[in-house]
Structures are given as C-alpha cells and as structure tokens.
C-alpha cells in the first residue's frame, strides 16, 4: 500500500514524478487521466434502455393483460379462427405506453445529469507553471493543488506548504474538532488517519488558511473511495410529493381493482362472455390505475429545474423545488446579492491618504477574487501605487487570513528598517488594537477625542451606505518578526460604495406582494445596511434593524418572539445566521437563506432552502446548499420561488387531469354495464383512450406557463396536502361529468342512430376527445379563455395530435375494423364534437359562478 504521510515533501514529489514549482504539463496530466480515469467515486450502474423498457412490463395488471391476450390468441387458434388482431393491438398499445415512459424517463434523467455537472466542484491546479481552474474530476495524481478557505479537497493530498491551515475532516473521520495541518512534519508509517497532519483527504473541507499540496490518490483509491461501496447502491429518496402521490395511487389502484372486479362479476351475472368481461375488466384496471403519478412528478420536476438552470438557479435536489413554492421568508446577504458587488473607493479619512492606501494595498491579495480588495488595489493603481512594485519593496512573509469571526486580515512584511505589521478590517475590530495615530508627520498617542472623531467619521460613511475599512500598522526594528496585533498605529478609514442592483427593488416589491418577508443579513455596519435596505424598499424604519451585538444579548426564546419585526440583521456572524433561521422556523416560516463562505454551511444546511453563491461562493457552501445562484443575484431567488410555485401548480393540474380522467373511464364502463347490460367500451378501446389522453396532455400541463398572478398569492403551506382546498371534490365531480358525457354519446348512438356499434363508437370518441378538451380547464382556476386558451403550445399540440389519432382510428377502414368501431358521418361527428366541448363550457360556467359568489 502506497503511503505518503511518512515521506518528506521531496520524497513524495520524486515518487509521484511531479514538480513543486511548475506542476505537471498538460500533456502529462492528460496521460494520467487516461491511465487512472476520472477523479470521482463510482456510481451505481445506470439502467440500460432495454431494462427500463422491460420494467414497464413489470406491473402486475400489465402482466395479467398480456397473459389474457396470449390466452385469447391461443383460444382463437384452438377454435380454428386464428384471430390475432386483438392480442397484437393490445401488445402494440402496451409497447407504445412503455416507449413513451422510457422517453420521458430518459429526458428527466438527462436533465438531472446536466444539473449535476453544472454544480460539480472545481479545483485550482498548477500546470505548465500556471494556475488554472479545472473540474475536480479532472485532477490527477501528481497535480499541484492550491487550497484556500472554503475549498473542498478534491483528492487525497500530501501538503507541501501550509499557512494557518485548518481542515474539517468530520465527513471522513467523524471527529467534529477542526484539524490543524503542518506540511513540514513527517509521521510514522502507522499514524492513524485522523492524526495525519501533513495530509488532507478528499471530501474534507478547508476552514481557514492556505496551502499548496500534491495529489497522491484520486477517485476510488482515496480514503473516501474505500468506503464508497456503501454509497453505490443507495437509491435517491422520493420527494414528499412523490411519496404522497405514490400512496394515493396505491389507494386508488386498490379501489379501481375492486370496481373492476365488481364489473366482471356483474358481467358474469348478466351472462356476458366471461373471457370478454375479463379482458375488459383488466384493460380498465390498466387504464385507470394511476401507477404513473410519481413518475409524472419526477418528469415535471426535472423539466422545471432545467428551466430554472437556464435562469441562473441550479437546484441540487428535487425536494427543494417543492419547498421553494412555500418560501415565506428570504434571508439574503447584502453584498453581491442585493448589491452589484462592484466596489469603488469613494472616501478616505486620513491625515496621510497615500500611506493609508499603500498599507491597505499591501494587506490585499492580488488574486482578483475579493471585490473589496480589487477596489482598493484599483484605487492604489490610479494613485500611482503599483501592487507588484510595493510588494517587492515590502515583501509579505506571513499573514493571518481574514475570517468572519476576526473580521480583519493581518500581514507581516519585511521593510527596509525591519518588519511592518498591517491590519485591515472592520473599524470596531481594528481600532481596539490601536494605541497611536499617524497625524501626517509622525505617530502620536491616540486620545479619546481622536477615537471619538474616528467613530463619527465612520458613522458618516456608513450613513451614506459605504462599507468602511480601517487600516492600522506598526514598525519593528527587530531582526525577525511575526504578526503582532498590539500597540498599532491607526492610519485611516477607507469608504467603499457598492450600488444596489437595479432589479433588487422590483424583486423586493414582488416578495412583499407574494406574502414573502424579505430580510437583509450582512456583516456590514448597521448604518451601511440600513441605507441600502432603504434604497431597495426592504425597510424605511431604523427600528427594524438589529445588530449581532444586540442578538448576543437576547435569548433564543426572545429572538423567536421578536424576529418577525426585524428586516435587517447587521454585523452578524455565521453563528447568528443559524439562530436567525431557527427563530423564523420556530414561527412556522419556510426560510430561504443565502451564504457564500465556509462558515455559512451550517445555516445553509438547516435552512429550508439553502442558496449558495455561484460566483463568490466556496465549494463548502455550495455542497451544503439546496440551490446555487450562478449570478449571485437576489432576483434569481425570487424567480426560483416564482418557478417553484409554478411547478407545484402544474403538478397539481396534471394530477387533477389524470385522476378525473381515470374516474371518468371507470364510471363510463361501470354505469354503462349497469344501465345497458353490456360494457360501452372494449378492452382495446380503453387502452387506446389511456394512451391518447393520459400521457401527452399531462406532460403538456407540466410545461404550462405560470399564471400572471402566481406571485400575488400567499405562500402555500407545506403541511397542506396537494388535495387540499376541495381538489378531491373537483376531481370526483369532473370525473362524473366526463363519464356522464360519454354515456350520453353512447345513449344517442343506440337510441337515435340505432346500433350498439354506433353508440360504442360515439362513447369512445367522446371519452377521448372530451378529456383532451378538459385538459385546457386545468390551466387556470380562473376562466381559461381569459387566461389564454392557446397560450400553451404543447397543450394545443397534444389536442391536435390526439384528434388526428382518434379520427384516424374511427375513419380509416383498416383501423376501424381493428378497434371494432363504425365510421361516423358528418352529423354524428357534429354531435360528438358538441358533447366533447361541453367540459370546457360547463367548467367555465362553474368558474364564473364561483367568482360571483366570492364577490
């Protein structure tokens, strides 16, 4: 077994054939990727097309139907007739249904696969001497990897250099304590996994500091890969809605089986051919049992999340789509989410502005990732201070990185006279370390009057909506040094402006109309936060602002009682975010929370909808979230809620349509048998109705555009069933309507046009076409004519396709003979058309009366 924790850095690099300066060449990396495979854990083998297809025949009732068709075929041969028409048609319809199911399943699967790729982590590697960002699954053994706070470690690595590096290894070792790492030590061969301080392991996360490391194991060879076999066979859990509909389907399926059994018994009692009655009963069971409801939900959720990904919202798991539509509170970061994240230095308070800017620039990293530091460096450049030049004069030799607890960054530089320590951060976290102030000529003691003046200037800047950075320093003449945060000299304040996003105010207005409470959560000063919140309409009342310091003084119980009155939480830490989310949830609110840093992960995890930032977010935050905003925009969260509501509404439409249609089919056969002594429809006709009317309109309803007023309604309670607010009543009444209309056509065919064959044909046509028309009723709870009858082109397409298929079956002699139907003349088609359009008229009148009663 290859081990590296017991080797020095040089021995490790030599063993791997790497380079600590330039990394691997692109050519060598390509060879290793080809040799070792992608850096990812093995997944459960996907089902092939054939297996998926055959699984559609695994349903008990379908097996019985096919067996009955085979018996029918065998019986006809024994009787010397060899009539294979009905068995072949039954088989063809079942195969068509299976093909449609496979196509839809594949489409949903591909949608979800593409989302996985969009949300996959990345890694910063050095190849050919240049830093480049690649997908984590492209990391190979020997790659040089740069790690910073918030990164997920992409492979098992031997550390080469470390700077205050701590790692959360709980996902691998189960230890909740953070582990400090040190590249310089060499360990004993038998050192346990949790004590290998010179190694970082795949799937663990960097919580603070920086490091340079070399990948020593990838994919299934990593430590986490050794336990991956326990994860491979896990099936993805059903969403709550899928579970509910699966249970509902089982209940309705049992009821349908009982009714089909009764139909069979009635037919036998009325001396109808037992085998024909058996085929009719089984076909009705196959057509009416809603076993595909959970699959319909999956397809609609998959289609919905693909639409959302095209609008910068990548949903990482399907259940969160259901939750989105119920969101009642959105807790959003300020910087970059409500604002543009385009910082500019607009104000400086200092007796020596040039010195203040130079110190701030030295205490900045030049990687371009931090908008605040970018603004400082751009301002320095415009004032003749080049970052590269001053770094050469004052080279950085140590640092204490910024984090959300310290709210400051400290660097140590070699200077011409010794060492210089610089602190840059929030004024209240820098000023306490200052004992002196630079007056433009020399350093003098920092008096209480001077402190007061600094705080007044800080308040002036924050009231204008500026982010304020304080800068302090100290010079040491010693021969060696380390960052020392005491007896600092205050240099000045830098004010940076980050304008609100243009669309933020509109999105806040939409939230309020939708019954959603928009909340700003920020690490910025209360004055800065309030100024921006006022500009975008979150609040105009200063009393609705609370700071982290004030939060610390109240208990969780008090916060629960008071939380809903606050619109802005300023100067908060990640720990405060967790308390805020829990307080809203304790009030029954469905809470969305944004976050980008490694310390935001706990809040993102416990929020009902955790939203991480795609641009500024760390891999740790992304992995903890339910949704990634690829544009870091508050408006995208609001759009996602809008879309979540629309997806749920469309699922509800499809469920209502499918169940009412199924009830209509059952009632048609059951009532027709009781009233006339014979079933109005044959086995083949029932299966055809199911094929034409169930699949295409249901999927088309899943693509229905959202109603214009969908964000003018209060959030849906997740505790409410999909069948709440009278949906079951509507389904049963609509099913009775469809059944009654089919029986009306059957009666007209028998009594006016004189034959059972005409009656059966007209009932067959009305049952199919009326359901296609009824699908349009599902589009809106209001008048569908006002909502736009032809606004959904997919639904119009399903109507046209269904009509063409139905007319072809009845009017083409070759098909009409197979389906045991009689061609209809012009008058009969007029009657069929008039009856089939009645569902639209009846439901429109019902909606009109409902609106009148509500007034």
pLDDT at residue 686 in the model: 81
User: What confidence tens digit (pLDDT) does each residue in 376-421 have?
Assistant: 999 999 999 999 999 999 999 988 888 777 889 999 999 888 899 9
Residue 199 host element (H or E):
strand 199-200
Band the pLDDT of 229: cuts 50, 70, 90. low
Q: What percent of the chain has pLDDT over 70?
A: 89
Band the pLDDT of 42: cuts 50, 70, 90. confident
d(CA 637, CA 609): 10
Cβ(531)–Cβ(464) below 8 Å: yes
Residue 549 host element (H or E):
helix 548-552
**Mean pLDDT estimate for the chain:** 86
| 404: Cβ contacts below 8 Å, ≥ 6 apart | 523, 573, 574, 597, 599
Cβ(366)–Cβ(396) below 8 Å: no
Q: What percent of the chain has pLDDT over 90?
A: 48
Q: What is the DSSP letter of 670?
A: H
* 686 closest CA partner among 709, 672, 665: 665
Q: Are strands 568-570 and 545-547 parallel, antiparallel or unpaired?
A: parallel
Mean pLDDT of 95-107: 73
Within 256-391, strands assigned E span 313-315, 329-333, 344-349
Residue 547 has pLDDT above 90, yes or no: yes
Mean pLDDT of 498-517: 94
User: What confidence tens digit (pLDDT) does each residue in 782-815 have?
Assistant: 888 887 888 899 999 999 999 999 999 999 998 8
d(CA 563, CA 1): 56
pLDDT at residue 54 in the model: 78
d(CA 839, CA 110): 36
pLDDT at residue 121 in the model: 83
Mean pLDDT of 811-827: 91
Band the pLDDT of 432: cuts 50, 70, 90. very high
d(CA 694, CA 700): 10
Mean pLDDT of 86-111: 71
pLDDT at residue 575 in the model: 84
In order of 427, 432, 637, the CA distances from 452 in angstroms are: 12, 12, 41
d(CA 300, CA 653): 11
Band the pLDDT of 601: cuts 50, 70, 90. confident
Mean pLDDT of 21-48: 86
pLDDT at residue 231 in the model: 45
Mean pLDDT of 447-455: 95
d(CA 548, CA 543): 14
Band the pLDDT of 234: cuts 50, 70, 90. very low
Q: What is the pTM of this model?
A: 0.79
Percentages helix, strand, coil for the chain (3-state, rounded to 5) are: 55, 15, 30
Cβ(670)–Cβ(262) below 8 Å: yes
How is the beta sheet containing 313-315 ordered, strand by strand? 313-315, 627-629, 609-613, 591-595, 329-333, 517-521, 568-570, 545-547
β-pair partners for 490: 437, 472
Q: Of the ranges 66-80, 170-184, 332-346, 758-772, which one carries the lowest mean pLDDT score? A: 66-80
Q: 156, 168, 333, 626: which one is catalytic? A: 333
- Specify the residue for token string 């992995």: 623
Q: Of the ranges 41-50, 339-348, 392-401, 830-839, which one carries the lowest mean pLDDT score? A: 41-50
Band the pLDDT of 648: cuts 50, 70, 90. confident
Mean pLDDT of 531-548: 94
DSSP per-residue string spanning 818-853: HTT-----HHHHHHHHHHHTHHHHHHHHHHHHHHHH
* Whether 524 is catalytic: no
Cβ-based neighbour number of residue 384 at 10 Å: 9
Mean pLDDT of 564-593: 92
End-to-end CA distance of the chain: 78
Residue 135 has pLDDT above 80, yes or no: yes
């Amino acid at each position: 077994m290859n081990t590296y924790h017991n080797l020095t850095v040089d021995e490790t690099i030599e063993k791997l054939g790497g380079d600590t300066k330039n990394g691997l060449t692109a050519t060598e990396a390509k060879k290793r990727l080809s040799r070792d495979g992608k850096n990812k854990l093995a997944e459960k083998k996907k089902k092939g097309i054939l297996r998926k297809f055959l699984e559609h025949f695994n349903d008990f009732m379908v097996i019985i139907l096919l067996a009955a068709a085979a018996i029918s075929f065998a019986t006809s041969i024994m009787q010397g007739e060899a009539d294979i028409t009905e068995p072949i048609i039954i088989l063809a319809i079942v195969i068509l249904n299976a093909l449609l199911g496979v196509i839809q399943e594949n489409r949903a699967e591909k949608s979800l696969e593409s989302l996985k790729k969009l949300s996959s982590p990345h890694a910063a590697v050095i190849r050919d001497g240049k830093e480049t960002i690649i997908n984590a699954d492209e990391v190979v053994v020997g790659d040089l990897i740069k790690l910073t706070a918030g990164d997920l470690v992409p492979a098992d690595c031997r550390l080469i250099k470390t700077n205050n590096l701590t790692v959360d290894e709980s996902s691998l070792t189960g230890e909740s304590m953070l582990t400090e790492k040190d590249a310089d030590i060499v360990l004993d061969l038998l050192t346990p996994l949790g004590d290998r301080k010179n190694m970082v392991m795949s799937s663990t996360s960097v919580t603070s500091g920086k490091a340079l490391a070399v990948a020593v194991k990838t994919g299934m060879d990593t430590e986490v890969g050794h336990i991956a076999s326990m994860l491979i066979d896990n099936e993805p859990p059903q969403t709550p809605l899928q579970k509910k509909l699966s249970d509902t389907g089982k209940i309705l399926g049992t009821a349908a089986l009982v009714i089909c059994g009764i139909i069979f018994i009635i037919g036998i009692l009325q001396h109808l051919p037992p085998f024909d009655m058996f085929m009719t009963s089984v076909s009705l069971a196959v057509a009416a049992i809603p076993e595909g409801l959970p699959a319909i939900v999956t397809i609609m959720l998959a289609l919905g999340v693909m639409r959302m990904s095209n609008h910068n919202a990548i949903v990482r798991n399907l259940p969160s789509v259901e939750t989105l539509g119920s969101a009642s509170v959105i807790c959003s970061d300020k910087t970059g989410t409500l604002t543009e994240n385009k910082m500019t230095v607009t104000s400086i308070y200092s007796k020596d502005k040039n010195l203040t800017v130079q110190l701030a620039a030295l205490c900045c990293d030049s990687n371009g990732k931090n908008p605040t530091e970018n603004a400082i460096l751009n301002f320095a450049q415009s004032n003749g201070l080049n970052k590269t030049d001053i770094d050469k004069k004052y080279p950085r030799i140590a640092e204490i990185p910024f984090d959300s607890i310290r709210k400051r960054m400290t660097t140590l530089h070699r200077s011409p006279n010794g060492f210089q320590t610089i602190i840059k951060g929030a004024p209240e976290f820098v000023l306490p370390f200052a004992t002196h102030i630079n007056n433009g000529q020399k350093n003098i003691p920092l008096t209480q009057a001077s402190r007061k003046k600094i705080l007044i200037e800080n308040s002036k800047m924050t009231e204008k909506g500026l982010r304020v950075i304080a800068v302090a320093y100290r010079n040491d003449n010693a021969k060696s040094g380390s960052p020392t945060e005491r007896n600092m000299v205050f240099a000045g304040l830098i004010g940076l402006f980050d304008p609100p996003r243009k669309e933020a105010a509109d999105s806040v207005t939409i939230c309020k109309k939708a019954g959603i409470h928009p909340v700003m959560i920020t690490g910025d000063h209360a004055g800065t936060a309030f100024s921006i919140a006022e500009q975008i309409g979150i609040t105009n009342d200063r009393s609705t602002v609370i700071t982290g310091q004030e939060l610390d003084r109240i208990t969780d119980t008090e916060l629960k009682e008071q939380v809903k009155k606050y619109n802005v939480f300023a100067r908060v830490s990640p720990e405060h975010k967790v308390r805020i989310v829990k307080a809203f949830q304790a009030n029954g609110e469905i809470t969305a929370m944004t976050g980008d840093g490694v310390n935001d992960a706990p809040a993102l995890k416990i929020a009902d909808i955790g939203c991480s930032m795609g641009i500024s977010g760390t891999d740790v935050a992304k992995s903890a979230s339910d949704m990634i905003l690829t544009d870091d925009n508050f408006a995208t969260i609001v759009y996602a809620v809008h879309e979540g509501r629309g997806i749920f509404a469309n699922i509800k439409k499809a469920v209502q349509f499918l169940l009412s249609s199924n009830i209509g089919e059952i009632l048609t056969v059951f009532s027709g048998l009781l009233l006339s002594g014979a079933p109005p429809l044959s086995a083949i006709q029932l299966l055809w109705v199911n094929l034409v009317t169930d699949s295409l309109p249901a999927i088309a309803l899943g693509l229905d555009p959202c109603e214009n007023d969908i964000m003018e309604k209060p959030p849906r309670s997740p505790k409410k069933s999909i069948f709440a607010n009278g949906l079951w009543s509507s389904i049963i009444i609509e099913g009775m309507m469809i059944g009654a209309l089919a029986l009306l056509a059957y009666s007209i065919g028998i009594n006016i046009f004189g034959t059972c064959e005409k009656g059966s044909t007209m009932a067959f046509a009305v049952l199919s076409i009326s359901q296609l028309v009824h699908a349009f009723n599902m589009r809106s709870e209001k008048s569908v004519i006002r909502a736009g009858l032809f606004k959904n082109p997919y639904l119009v397409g399903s109507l046209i396709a269904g009509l063409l298929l139905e007319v072809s079956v009845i009017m083409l002699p070759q098909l009409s003979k197979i389906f045991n139907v009689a061609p209809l003349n012009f008058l009969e088609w007029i009657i069929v058309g008039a009856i089939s359009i009645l569902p639209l008229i009846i439901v429109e009148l019902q909606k009109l009366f409902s609106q009148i009663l509500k007034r």
